Chain A
Amino acid sequence: MAASTSSRRATGADAASSASSAAPAAAAGAGASGAAGTSAGAGASPGVGTTTGADTTGVAATAGPSGTAPDAVAHADAAMRGVGVCAGVAVGPVARLGLPAAVPADLPAPDDVTAEATRVREALSAAGDALDARAAAAREHGRDEAAQILDAQAMMARDFVLADRAAALVTEGNAGVHAVSTALAGFRAQLEAAGGYLAERAADLDGVRDRVVSTLLGVPLPGLPDPGHPYVLVAEDLTPADTATLDTGAVLGIVTAAGGATSHTAIIAKSLGIPAIVGCRASESLTDGTAVLVDGADGTLLIDPQDDVVATRREAFAARRALAAAHSGPGRTKDGHPVKLLVNLGAGEDPATAAAGDVEGVGLLRTELLYLDRATAPTFDEQTKAYREIFAAFGGRKVVVRTLDAGADKPLPFLTDPDEPNPALGVRGWRTSWRHPDLLDDQLRAIAAAVTAVEADGGAADVWVMAPMIATAGEAARFAADAKAHGLRTVGTMVEVPAAALAADALVSACDFVSIGTNDLSQYTFAADRLQSELAGLLDPWQPALLRLIQMVGAAGAAQDTPVGVCGEAAGDPLLAPVLVGLGVTSLSMASGSVADVRAALAIRTLDECRALAATALAAADAAAGRAAVAAAG
């Protein structure tokens, strides 16, 4: 059942995404024959989404038992499809994220300026109260960071200087909405001029403005809806500000029109354990109150689902859960081939929670969080303290630290050149150490000091260090020499640049281990920006060309008896995990919520079966076909 649901998602998601990716290729005259077939097939799918309850019943009933690709295509117009990012079944009414109200350009001067000024003051004060309530709610859910931002916003809304300025503007004959916007824009400009952290806080002011403007215009408030009952949250996309106060008791499921498997929404949904579908373009047509079923396992959204369909979906999910619950401990195939199951962790996230899980360690410790939102780099002491806490929490279990991966989508004010014409192809990742060798040096020193400190306390620390964005074996050797000079014992590199994978033999021989970052490796292999949701189909980890690069690295690792990990989102796909193992991958690092399913998926297959699945996936014509063929092969 689990396998057949996955295959349906495969086709649905790919049909939709290849429509967008194939069309430009055909238009450019490139790969015409292949693209034509795909886009013709996908041409049927724009109708997706406007469907009736009766149709959706039909889908679930027929697709359940067979679940092969042609079947799913036949029903492509019967449900909305996107990319399932957090397994689980949610059923409930839709409530859409409130959008910021547009401020009308022309508004008459108020008839009664005194009354209008009072209205402005009241709206500001009401915004302050509402933000206080949100802060309290955030605190109740243990989101202290979000609560602090909301506290600050409440204080801004109640700022009497702001109220006085806005009231003065009203007295001059401006409409209240314009007065508030103008007064806030003045402060915003001051913050932006200050730069750095303060410039980022300008967004907090926008949050206050959107709230007050909505109140003054008498339109629904922007942000998370509060319909008074649990709901399925539907949005174009969610920002960190939206998700900061997300109440896991009220939000049953999440559906976004934009985004891919690595988007913020996907990461948050996984960490909160809320069933979610991202990249579901058709969801734009959903309106408040519509009853929907969200299946985060296969990325299907059904409208007005019948009871028996809900029951079938829930049973399938329960079966998957039961399978996961039946296995525990270190990852291994049915015939005992070990595969380390690790989690991805951000420095700054709570290591104790991650360490409490049934996991073998951390396969990717993202250290960027220590550097973000700051005007200067964290000090040696700050870093040492943060790393020490993490290493101690995992008490001797492996922790793979990725050194600072700044640049591109993660710019740092003190490091990143804002004028880089093409930051994803620029001085990012390990390359930033060419310009700022001191930053990497401090970081390696702090990691080594943290290891020493944990060991001095009588604890154990198995710390591995790797550099991001390494392109050549020479670079890998240079980084390894640097890290070892600091006393770090196990040093490797990420494989994210196709050149690194193509030179796998030399690269592996320069390293104690390598770890494949599938998200970036996809982006660079397919020349497709990760942040462009239109390109999600090209970034699908089932792409045979990507798997071929992984196979090259896996083979080099096996020949030299060197561990090869995968630490992209691909590692957390229970259908793809056996394929990766079959390609020679020896550890998988994923969101903690994915570990149990992946463990179960490996435990029911022998290494030879994994290899056979890998061969099947590699031989496929495209990602959708590969996923479907592997699902069908079991």
Chain B
Amino acid sequence: MPQRTIAVGSSVGLHARPASLLVAAAGKAVSGGSAASVTIASGGGEPADARSILSVIALGAGHGDEVTLTAEGDQADAVLDELAAIVASEED
């Protein structure tokens, strides 16, 4: 399965607006059929469904922490590119 490991760019970490954007994009990718599933894991932890805001913020990923995105499906790479860009974005 395609994966991307990226560092969180936002100075506030992966919650608030960056987390909302990620969850919205993951939800859209799955409901639109471009991915069958998208998960996110922090460090070596358990992967969580990237469509769940509560699961995403509960990762507690801070600025600079590495997270791993994994996607399944035909367009998994394109979906991961989009999601990785959101995670890496420095906008709060």
Contacts and interface: CB of A to CB of B under 8 A. Distances in A.
B60 A194 contact: yes
Contacts of B12: 197, 374
A159 B53 contact: yes
B8 to A, nearest CB: 12
Interface in B18-58: 19-20, 23-24, 49, 51-55, 57-58
Interface string A518-539: 0000000000000000000000
Interface residues of B, number: 19
A152 interface: yes
A345 to B, nearest CB: 22
A373 to B, nearest CB: 9
A198 B20 contact: no
A65 B15 CA distance: 59
B20 A151 contact: yes
Interface string A371-390: 00011000000000000000
Contact of B60 (A160, A161, A198): A198
Contacts of A194: 58, 60
A191 B24 CA distance: 20
A161 B15 contact: no
Contacts of B53: 152, 155-156, 159
B26 to A, nearest CB: 12
B40 to A, nearest CB: 12
Interface string A116-156: 00000000000000000000000000000000100110011
B57 A161 contact: no
B58 A155 contact: no
B56 to A, nearest CB: 9
A161 B54 contact: yes
B20 A159 contact: no
B10 to A, nearest CB: 11
A160 B20 contact: no
Contacts of B62: 375
Interface in A138-184: 148, 151-152, 155-156, 159-162
A155 B23 contact: yes
B51 A187 contact: no
B58 A190 contact: yes
Interface in A186-228: 187, 190-191, 193-194, 197-198, 201, 205
A201 B57 contact: yes
Going nearest first, the 3 A-B pairs with the smallest beta carbon separation are A194-B60, A161-B52, A190-B58
Given A156-B54, A375-B13, 12 more contacts: A148-B16, A148-B17, A151-B20, A152-B53, A155-B24, A159-B52, A159-B54, A160-B49, A161-B49, A162-B52, A198-B15, A198-B60
